[in-house]
């Protein structure tokens, strides 16, 4: 469909709680495709949420399969409508970045294992277990739906936030 521009912090849409999608919704498939196209076009992205492209709706896409951190443990391309983490366990801290905060990365602690329920692109309910980098990526994208950025989860802006090196 279309590669969309990514909204940058401090755009106010990024701080809003996104609206749930009521299924069936014929517009959601086009939104999912826009998210996929935008994620793939970035080249380095493992996920993108609808608010990042200006759509305040509870839709995300995640695919860590091409990342060295997620290559061996993933579900492939996940298209998640109204995703919700229903169970979490463990804890791990990872350096996170975000297309909406392009100049910084930060250490964020999240659940290491999650169970997430969602509706997939074809309208089917799904429940999956995820761990490691994939679990981290999903939690990061769901945060976007709740108006949160990784900056909101960095425990110390002084010691855990880093300026990204210019490429």
Out of 96, 112, 134, 141, the active site residue is 141
Upstream peptide bond of 10 is cis (omega within 30 degrees of 0): yes
Residues in contact with 1: Cβ distance below 8 Å, sequence separation at least 6, in sequence order = 30, 33, 34, 37
Q: What is residue 134's three-state secondary structure?
A: helix
Structural tokens at position 59: 């839709």
Q: What is residue 147's three-state secondary structure?
A: coil
Helix (H) or strand (E) holding 34: helix 28-42
Residue whose C-alpha is closest to residue 46's, from 27, 66, 25, 32? 66
Catalytic residue list contains 19: no
Structural tokens at position 99: 């297309």
* Residues with active-site annotation: 141
């Amino acid at each position: 469909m279309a590669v969309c521009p990514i909204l940058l912090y401090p755009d106010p849409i990024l701080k809003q709680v996104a609206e749930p999608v009521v299924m069936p919704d014929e517009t959601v498939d086009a939104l999912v495709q826009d998210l996929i196209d935008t994620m793939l076009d970035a080249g380095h992205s493992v996920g993108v949420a609808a608010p990042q492209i200006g759509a305040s709706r509870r839709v995300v896409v995640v695919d860590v399969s091409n990342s060295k951190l997620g290559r061996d443990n993933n579900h492939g391309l996940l298209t998640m409508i109204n995703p919700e983490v229903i169970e979490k366990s463990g804890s791990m801290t990872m350096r996170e970045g975000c297309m909406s905060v392009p100049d910084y990365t930060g250490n964020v602690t999240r659940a290491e294992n999650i169970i997430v329920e969602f509706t997939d692109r074809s309208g089917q309910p799904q429940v999956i277990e995820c761990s490691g980098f994939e679990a981290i990526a999903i939690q990061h994208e769901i945060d976007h739906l709740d108006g949160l950025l990784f900056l909101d989860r960095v425990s110390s802006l002084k010691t855990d936030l880093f300026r990204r090196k210019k490429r």
